[in-house]
Amino acid sequence: MLEHGTDYSYDDLLTIAKGQLRLEDIAAGNVNGMKEEDSNAASLLFIDTNMYVMKVWCEFVFNNCHEWIIEQIIHRKYDLYLLCNTDLPWVKDELREYPDLETRERLYNIYKDIMINQDVPWVDINGDYEERFERAKEAVDKLTVFNLQT
């Protein structure tokens, strides 16, 4: 969807959501199909978009959300969310919108509210780039140790 950049429609978001889950399922299949000796840290799958993100964008931009996206939120299960805070400067790319801090903070608070009101563990990721990496790594390490013990 890079060819459209920030020029998208409500229905485009449904197409993007379906493509996201298709790619996620392919990647998860590749991870789950690894040989046992290769399955330690390499068995982790990181994704930067899920149906919560699609729901927020549908509602934020179009004040409506596709029922299909809502249904996927109910059925999809993840182990951990890393919620990136707004404390780094905004950097332009082909897909990024809303460079102003006020809108970024509004979106962050929407995502934070979602995190608070769902059952999957989540961690606020803030600080400079190194601090963010360390917080994320620590959260993933804790989850990995917990999953190995259960």
Long-range contacts from 89-93, C-beta under 8 angstroms, 24+ separation? none
Residue 44, pLDDT score: 87
Q: pLDDT tens across 34-93, in order?
A: 555 554 545 789 999 999 999 999 999 999 999 999 999 999 999 999 999 999 998 887
Is the pLDDT at 7 greater than 80? The verdict is no
- Helix (H) or strand (E) segment spanning residue 105: helix 101-116
Give the pLDDT mean for 129-134: 98
pLDDT at position 150 is 53
At residue 4, the pLDDT reads 52
In this prediction the pTM is: 0.84
What integer pLDDT is reported at residue 53 of this predicted model?
96
Distances in whole angstroms, Cα of residue 121 to Cα of each of 24, 128, 138: 20, 22, 13
Amino acid at 55: K
pLDDT at residue 99 is higher than 80? yes
Q: What is the pLDDT of residue 92?
A: 84
Q: In this predicted structure, what is the pLDDT of residue 35?
A: 53
Tokens (6 digits) for 145: 């140790």
102-131 pLDDT per residue, tens? 999 999 999 999 999 999 999 999 999 999
Report pLDDT for 61. Answer: 95
Instruction: Of 3, 21, 19, give the one whose Cα is nearest residue 11.
Output: 19
**Whole-angstrom distance, CA of residue 95 vs CA of residue 84:** 17
First to last CA, the chain: 39
8 Å CB contact between 133 and 140? no
Higher pLDDT, residue 61 or 95: 61
Considering only the C-alpha atoms of the chain, give the largest distance between any 2 of them, rounded to a whole number of Å.
47
- SS3 state at 124: strand
Query: Which of the two residues, 145 and 143, has the higher pLDDT score?
Result: 143
CA 81, CA 65: separation in Å to the nearest integer? 21
Helices (H), 39-100: 51-62, 67-75
Distance CA 84, CA 139 (A): 13
